[in-house]
Structure formats: C-alpha cells, structure tokens
Amino acid sequence: MRLSGKIVLITGASGGIGRGLAQRFAREGADVIVHYRSDAEGAIEALRSVEAEGRRGALLKADLGSVSAIEACMQEAFRLLGPVDILINNAGLQRAAPFLEVTEEDYDMVLHVNLRGVFFTTQRFVAALQERKAKGRVINISSVHEELPFPDFASYCLSKGGLRMLARTLAIELAPLGVTINNIAPGAIRTPINTSLLKNRAKLDALEANIPLGHVGTPDDVAGAAIFLSSDDAAYITGTTLFVDGGLLWNYHEQH
C-alpha cells in the first residue's frame, strides 16, 4: 500500500471520478475525507467504499464556490481525521450553451467552482501545511479541454485552461515549501454525467473512433494516475499535466 498513513481530502467525491478516487486511495492505505456539495446519498456510498477497504473515512459537506465556505471546510477537514497530506481538487461542473447565449449566472457558477474553488482550497491547504512545516501534494482533476477546444463549453474550457497555468505557476512558487502540484486531464470516462452518451450507440461509436485505444476510460484509470502522483515515485514531478485519455487529445476530430 503506497499511501499508508496518509490523509487525503477529495473534493466532489460523491460520484463518478471522485468516488472512484476515494475507494482507490483507501485501497492504497490512505484515510479519506469525502467532500460533497449536495449528493448526500452518493457521498455515503463513497464513504462506505472507503470503510470497506479497512480505512478511516469522513463526510464533509461544503459549497466550494465561496472563500468563507472553503475556510470552514478546511478547518472541519482537519478536525475530522487530522492533518491532511494530499488534496485532490476534483469538484467541478459544466454548463452547455453557444457562446452568444452564455449567461452571467452560468459563467459565474462554472468559474467559481472550477477555478476559484480550486485556487482558494489549495491556498488554505498549503497554508495549513506551512503551519506544521509539512510537505504535501496537490492534484487537480482537469480535463483534456485544458488543451482541446470544446464548442458550446467556452466557460468550462476557460476554467480548465486556467488550471493548467495555475499548476505551472504554483509548481514554481510552492516547490521551496515542499509542495508539488500536478493536473490529471481525463478524456471520455464512464461516469453518470456521460450516461446519455454511453447509451447512444451512434454517438459512442463516433467518440470511440477518435480514441486510439478504442474505448472510453473508467474512474479507476484516473485514480491510478492520482495514486502515482501522490506516491514517492512522483516526488520529482510538479507543474505538469498527465493526460488519461486513451490518446484522444492528439487524435480528436470535431464531428459536424
């Protein structure tokens, strides 16, 4: 177990990739704080998967769209299981609309969670590490769309592109503090958010034709990358993005 004795906080862990991360980190020996915003049932299932692996787990409900909530969230995280060693910024959302129809409300919602939330959650986490003079790891669950254009999802792409530069900048700034920061950029993954796509044979076939490995990925594919970046094997890696996409990024052709 590569992460025995570590405590990890995973944001947005009530379903999909987040839930997969929770179970896999527990399997590797970590205790897991399962953060969620509204899906209490999913969060409980994630917690059960952690405990089924014989590790400690805890639930943490918070809206990461506001800085005051993030501050309270981090304080509660430390109270629940103890000092956090690894932060996984997984919480995120998207809103589809042609550029000329994007509303201020939807723009703010996407950027507040996907970028502002990551920024200030990471800030509070690193500050807590500094208080105890500890080293730590930050992993952002980004997207292939930090590189790949995605029509009708401009705000989402903007947020993920921001994560790319945030990781590169903080890698330099946080290295002297003993903190590494990296992004994982998933491609098409089997999660509830993609249910309609996965059930549409024609659309799924078209998508998989763009994936050199020939199939969509699973949450465990993403979790495996996160375990690696959290382990001692990745101690000399910071400021980079690890694409978990089956080769999609460099082979994708927009369908018209």
Residues marked active site are found at: 156
Neighbours of 104 (CB within 10 A): 7
Give the CA count within 13 Å in the CB-facing half-sphere of 40. 1
- Going by their DSSP bridges, the two strands 136-141 and 31-36 should be labelled as unpaired
Find out whether 184 and 225 touch, Cβ atoms under 8 Å. Answer: yes
Which residues contact residue 122 at a Cβ distance below 8 angstroms, ignoring those fewer than 6 apart?
87, 89, 138, 170, 181
Which residues contact residue 204 at a Cβ distance below 8 angstroms, ignoring those fewer than 6 apart?
197, 198, 216
- The pair of structure tokens assigned to 50 is 């952690």
